[in-house]
Amino acid sequence: MDVLYFAWVRERIGRPKDVVETQAATVMDLVEELRAREVRYEAAFADLSSLRVAVNQELTDFDAPLENAREVAFFPPMTGG
């Protein structure tokens, strides 16, 4: 699946996107896998209360299942308008 990063999450990880092969059942499982990758991922996912997640371009929660997920995105709270 495609894992996308925006704003300071993208900057902290140093790339806008990863293509990930995963058996993760939930967003949280995926976060744990990403955290284990490298220090910069661990830093980006250190405080989940400052992050939001979208699965297939819809806002959801960290306990959301990843069944049928093609695209998961992590980003800070939005500041539109």
Partner 1 sequence: MDIRVQSAPFDLGQEANAFAARQAGMGAIVTFTGVVRDVAGGLDVMEIEHYPGMTEAALTQIAQDAPERFALGDVLIIHRHGALTPDDLIMMVATAAPHRASAFEAADFLMDYLKSRAPFWKKEKTSDGSDWVAAKDEDETALNRW
We find the least distance from the C-beta atom of residue 49 to partner 1, in angstroms, to be 12
Where in the chain does DSSP place strands (E)? 2-5, 17-19, 52-55, 58-60, 71-75
Tokens, residue 79: 């500041």
* Pairwise CA distance, residues 69 & 80, whole Å: 25
Q: Nearest distance from residue 17's CB to partner 1, in Å? A: 12
Q: Does 75 bind partner 1 (CB under 8 A)?
A: yes
Site for partner 1 in 32-61 (CB under 8 A): 54, 57-59
CB-based contact 71:16 (threshold 8 Å): no
62 part of the interface to partner 1, by CB under 8 A: no
Among 39, 47, 68, 77, binds partner 1 (CB under 8 A): 77
Stretch binding partner 1 (CB under 8 A), from 1-9, 21-29, 34-42, 60-68? 1-9
Q: Take residue 7 and report the two structure tokens written for it.
A: 């704003």
